[in-house]
Structures are given as structure tokens and as C-alpha cells.
Structure 1
Amino acid sequence: MAMYHPMLRWKRGERIGLRNLHPQYKLNVTPVFLLSDGQYKPKQSTSTSPQLTEAQNFVEGITSDWGFTPIYVDASLLSIVNQQHEIVYIVLEAANRNITAIPTTNLYANYIYQNSIVSIHSSTNTDIALRISLQDLFNAQAWLNQWPIPKNKTDLIIDLGNSIAEGFQYYGQILATIQYIQTGTPWKSITLTGTSIPDNFGNYAQNQNHLIHRGEIDLWNSLQTNLNTRLDFGDYATVPLNAPGSGIAWGFPINAKYTLPADFLICRGVTTTRQGAIDMDVQLRGHASSIKQYQFRNRLNCWADDMIDNIANGIESPGNLETWVQIGVCRHIAITRHSLP
């Protein structure tokens, strides 16, 4: 069975989505958490609990929202630096809680972070993960022999971002390059990750439902069929990848994303202000009804699908956009794990 590695931000919506994920959909799943400064904070003491450092608070959140199975942690964007980079404290704190936190880096991380990664591996023999882009893959000859961690102790993650179309365009080169970098000592694992979701839905008509094909699954399926090595699957459980641009007016269209085995169902909303506006609550309940009635829904016995049905039936409040991040993350991971071989 292929391992599944969903990429996630460490934000409340994503965390609650994970918290509500049924244990059967966590089997053979190792999430990749992408940390940033705004999501990584200490916890102040209260009358019933002590103060927690940033690393302690993060790991405490992992235990409550994910559990005790392994995770990948990419902290390369954190600017917080004490005596050592925070990734060191995260790995140590996780180990204290019997959690394997696999430090994850890229070829361009700053010197302090990269040095910390090498130090963690040298002192603990911990496995490391390396995220590379498609261009990095094609330039493998330039960096492969300089990578400081043994390949058999490194999980390689080939991250296409939302450039899946390029994956098909350069399919033959990808196939040949993966075979090339596997010669000699093999990597501990290789994962292909990416998403077909665009940065925004501006090119999709409002007040309509749309299907976006999950090309990342097709690309992965084809590559893993033609490779003589195992290829694991990854994708972005949280989209869009990029932060919204500045100047987005309040009253933006209310959209909902629902993951199907081979497609994304996009319920495209309308503005909540100005001419033709519809209140957010009304739109979100309408999106829930559209999903509930969709003929090829592939409903699962999971919290997310229960929530959608209850919202459509008027049993639950339609919530807000964060509610639908929770629903989207939970459903996405569940249906993806359920559908993968």
C-alpha cells in the first residue's frame, strides 16, 4: 500500500479537521506540516496549566489533533531562533512524547536551519525529508553528490506545487530522472506531491458548480506504474497554496471545495456585498445541499460528510469559512486515503 503524505498548514481549521478524522483514515498517512511564524506560538500559563514554549505547544497540539504516529515538520520558514533553530526543539520535544517528528528541509533553507538538520541527523541518526521542486529534480546532477545526509536516511518529496500540467509536459524527463537518482544507494522513500487546484477561482463562473480533475493522481498513477521503485503519493490538503493577494475587497464570493476520488467539486459562490449579493449563511447551506445531492459524491462514514448532510438538512449551522476548512481537510484526507491503492 502506498503511503499518503498530505501537506498542511498548522492553522486552527486544519487542526480541527484532523482532530475529527476517523482513525481508519490515518492508517498509512504521514502528514507534512508547513510551519510559519503566525502559527507557531508559545502558550501562556493559566490557573490549570503551565506555560509552554513554542515547541511544547506545537507538540501538545499534535498529540490532541493528530495523535502519536509519525509526522513531517517543515519549519524552514520560521524566523524564531533561540540558541538553536526551533526544529531542534520540536524534534526533541516530540521524542519526549514518543512521537517521531521527521525534520523536513529544502535545498535553499538558510544556513542555521540546514545546519540544525544535519546536526539532528548526526546526533540521533534521525531520518530527514528533503522537499525539491521539479526544477531541482531536473538539476539533480548539480546537488545530488553534495547532499549531506545519506540517501537511505532521506525521504525525498518531489513537490510540483500547482504545476501538475508541467508534470505531464515533462513526463518522460521526470521518469528518467527519478530512475537516475535511484541508482546506487536508493532513497529511503520518494513521494510525488502537488495539486490541480488553481491559486483562485476567478476563471470559474460564479453561482455554479464546477469539476476540476485531480491530475496529480493520474500523474502519480502513471509514474508509479512505470517505475521500478515505490512512489508514494502526496498532495495539498489545504489550498490555495499562496496567500491571497493584497487589495481583495470585503464581500468576496463564498466558495466551497469538496474532494471526490478523481475530481474536486467546486461550489462557486457570489459576493456578500453589492449588487446580486447573498448572505454567507445562505450560500454555505446551499453549497451543502449541492454536495449532498451530487450524484457521484462517494459519501463516506466520516465527520465531514455527516456535517455536510446536517448543514443541508438544517440540523447544523452552516458555520463560517473556517468551518468549511475543517470539513474540507477532513473529507479530503479521508477520501484520498480511502481511494488510494
Structure 2
Amino acid sequence: MKLLPSTYVPSLRWRQGEYQALFRLSDAAKQLVVPFILVPEPEYDFEEGRPKKTVQEQVQTFPKRYQQKWGKRPAWIDVHTNIATTSMADGRTPMSYVFEEIRSFGSRAVPITSLDAPPAVNAVVAGIATIDKLGVGIRARLEHVMKPNFDARLIALISSIGLTREHTDLIIDLGAPNFQPYADFADGLIAAMDNVSALISYRSLVVIGTGFPQILGIDKPGGHLPRHDWVFYKTLRTKLAGIGRIPNFGDYTIVHPEFTAQDMRMLKPAGKLVYTAGDTWNVRKGGAFRSDPGQMHTHCDSILRSGQFCGPHFSAGDEYIDLCAKKLATPSNLTRWKENGISHHIMHVLADLATSSAGP
């Protein structure tokens, strides 16, 4: 799909805090967001010793919820590799099921495939592209992009789907690399992109990555973590200015892409608030949330007093933070605080990209 220079691509695992943050965005903000959505695999039930849901139960709720939360707006949709080749009760694959269901309400979503997807998945994606005529998105991981045969494999995949570069969105997923030194990493990626033939012909070009840690190694009461992905992107953009195609910016919001199931019976998650601020995340962290939910009032008050608070009208998340700091809203639950942090983060990135020096 065609993107504006200021379009932001958040990569989401379609959990409640993520889709609620999308849903609560203003209409103006939604016009500048094209999410990369992954239909996740069922989570594991440690007590029962099996997945919490069947693939059928996991996937069948997605189309209706997607319609409610995002509607006909453009998006890319992928399916987790662990369930991509399984079957629903009626024999359809999850990807077929999702796109046939969302097609009924006029969805403008584009299917995603990758260089290491099985032929069966590529066949399904080709069929969807033939019917919807909305093109395809190809997700290329960093290890794909850095190989000398990347361009040849990319061309072969596009051809096998029956499309051309002009109907293909190239999404480079960096994952969670060591971005530093920023300039060296940018030079390496630019060299790899230079080896992609007719890069300008692709319908869109996006780079997604994250600097958010998988383990939040920060002590109470919190501190600042660097947004390595954003600082790297600014470096990349500066180096490409006037000499190459500048990709759109994407990230994993305030979530690490590698989700590891954990036995929640053995854990006592801390109450925390992640607040995007400039080139850092301001993280407020306390003790076990279930033992002391009221700590969230203190965390929110700390953000208000930090000099970094963007005001209650900046996002739905900021509004809730303001109310909670004033004890006019309850501490709610951890999912709501993930939503509040993502809500603020999305609006902060849009503001970043809207500045005169930040857009592609």
C-alpha cells in the first residue's frame, strides 16, 4: 500500500492492550497509522499442561474483533508460523479463514508472507492477492537482507505469487538487534539495501525494529531506557537523505517481539508504567501489582511531575495517567497500563515523525 512519509507502522501481537490502544486513537491519528498485525498462536496453560485454546478457538475471534477495532482501514496481517499451516475446523488455514471473513465487510488488509514461509502459505497468500487485488507484503528478517542472494530470492518469491514490485510492500524486520554503533549499523543496512534491484519500485518500504528489552532490568522506582531503534532510524534517515529511498519507520511499541510464555502462578508482576519521552522511555516501576495496585497513583504522579508529561489531551493513555495521578481513576489492571503506555507511544511516534527533521 502507498504510505505517506509520516505514516507509522506499529507491529502488534493483537493482544488486548494493543488492539484497545489502536481502537482509542483519534480518527486523525488512525489516518497516519498502518499496523503490522500478527495473529498469535494460542498461549500455553501451565496448570493444564497444554495450550489454553485450540487453533480454531484462537483464530475464530480475530475477524470480528478486527472489524470492531480497526474496520476498513489499511493494515498488514500475518499469522504466527507455529499455526500458519494448521487447519481450522472446516479445513481452511488460519490465513484463508481470516481473509475470507474480513473480506465480507470490505477490509483493505494486505496479507504477509516471508522468504522462509512454506510453499503452502505462499499459495494461500497468492490466492488472497488474486481475489482482493490489494497486493502483498513481504517480511524480510535482518538475516535474510544481509545475505548476498537476498535480491534473487525476493524476486523469485514475488514472481511465484504472481505480482510485481509495484504491488509489493517490502518490510524489513530488524527484530531486536544491537543497534550500536548507530552509524555502523546504518551503513551495513544501506549497503544491503543497495543490493536490492529497483528498490524504488516497491510500493512501500518499511523498517521495523525495537530497542525495548526483553527483560526489563531496571530497579525501583525506575529510570530511563534508550530508544535505540528510534535513534538508529534518525541516523539511517540522515545518511540516506538525497542518495537513497528512505523507509517508513516501524517498531514494536513498548513490547519486545519475542514473547515467552511464563507460568503466572510463579510470578508476581511489578506495577509499572512505560512512558515514551524523546529518545528514551521513562519507566516507573514498583513492587508486585496485585499486592499494591495503588502504587499506580504514585507512578502516574511521577510522570506528571517529570517535566515530560504531554498533557491529558495528548492521547487516551495520557488522559488516564492524568486521572490516575489525581486519584480520579482506579489503578485498573496491568493490561490497561500496557494499553496506556502503547497509546501514548503511538502518539509520541506520530509527533516525532511530524517534525520537519524526522519524516522520510
TM norm structure 1? 0.85
Relative to structure 1, the CA distance from residue 84 to residue 254 in structure 2 (aligned partners, 3 Å threshold; closer, same or farther) is same
Letter in 1 for 2:253: A
Q: Work out whether 1:287 is the aligned partner of 2:299.
A: yes
Q: 2:187 maps to which residue?
A: 172
Distance in 1 between residues matched to 2:209 and 2:277, nearest whole Å: 16
Q: Work out whether 1:81 is the aligned partner of 2:93.
A: no
Q: 2:271 maps to which residue?
A: 254
Q: 1:95 maps to which residue?
A: 103
1:284 Cα deviation after fit: 1.8
The secondary structure found in structure 1 opposite 2:234 is helix
Maintained 8 Å contact 2:297/2:324: yes
**1:236 aligned to which of 248, 252, 276:** 252
Q: Work out whether 1:117 is the aligned partner of 2:117.
A: no
Q: CA RMSD in A?
A: 2.7
Relative to structure 1, the CA distance from residue 110 to residue 208 in structure 2 (aligned partners, 3 Å threshold; closer, same or farther) is same
Distance in 1 between residues matched to 2:181 and 2:9, nearest whole Å: 18
Q: How does 1:134-145 map to 2 (within 5 A)?
A: 134-139=142-147, 140-141=150-151, 143-145=153-155
Q: Work out whether 1:222 is the aligned partner of 2:235.
A: yes
Distance in 1 between residues matched to 2:341 and 2:54, nearest whole Å: 25
Moved more, 191-200 or 135-144: 135-144
The secondary structure found in structure 2 opposite 1:15 is helix
Letter in 2 for 1:195: T
- Give a deviation string over 1:299-320, Cα, whole Å, max 9, x none: 3612111100111111110111
- Give a deviation string over 1:46-65, Cα, whole Å, max 9, x none: xxxxxxx945x423212221
Maintained 8 Å contact 1:18/1:330: yes
**1:268 aligned to which of 261, 265, 285:** 285
Q: Work out whether 1:9 is the aligned partner of 2:3.
A: no
> Identity of aligned pairs, percent?
22
Maintained 8 Å contact 2:174/2:208: yes
Distance in 2 between residues matched to 1:184 and 1:247, nearest whole Å: 45
Relative to structure 1, the CA distance from residue 233 to residue 164 in structure 2 (aligned partners, 3 Å threshold; closer, same or farther) is farther
Maintained 8 Å contact 2:274/2:283: yes
Q: 1:151 maps to which residue?
A: 165
Letter in 1 for 2:176: N
The secondary structure found in structure 1 opposite 2:222 is strand
Distance in 1 between residues matched to 2:165 and 2:324, nearest whole Å: 48
Query: How many residue pairs align between the two structures?
Result: 325
Q: 1:48 maps to which residue?
A: none
Distance in 1 between residues matched to 2:165 and 2:176, nearest whole Å: 26
Distance in 2 between residues matched to 1:136 and 1:164, nearest whole Å: 17
Maintained 8 Å contact 1:90/1:101: no
Q: 1:50 maps to which residue?
A: none
Relative to structure 1, the CA distance from residue 190 to residue 164 in structure 2 (aligned partners, 3 Å threshold; closer, same or farther) is farther
Structure 2: which 5+ runs fail to align? 44-52, 355-360
1:230 Cα deviation after fit: 3.5
TM norm structure 2? 0.81
**1:183 aligned to which of 187, 198, 202:** 198
Q: 1:19 maps to which residue?
A: 23
Relative to structure 1, the CA distance from residue 43 to residue 165 in structure 2 (aligned partners, 3 Å threshold; closer, same or farther) is closer
Relative to structure 1, the CA distance from residue 98 to residue 296 in structure 2 (aligned partners, 3 Å threshold; closer, same or farther) is same
Letter in 2 for 1:220: Y
Distance in 2 between residues matched to 1:252 and 1:86, nearest whole Å: 32
Maintained 8 Å contact 1:25/1:338: no
Distance in 1 between residues matched to 2:197 and 2:204, nearest whole Å: 10
Maintained 8 Å contact 1:102/1:128: yes
Letter in 2 for 1:268: K
1:186 Cα deviation after fit: 2.0
Maintained 8 Å contact 2:311/2:319: no
Letter in 2 for 1:232: N
Distance in 1 between residues matched to 2:154 and 2:181, nearest whole Å: 21
Letter in 1 for 2:319: D
Q: 1:60 maps to which residue?
A: 64
Q: 2:309 maps to which residue?
A: 297
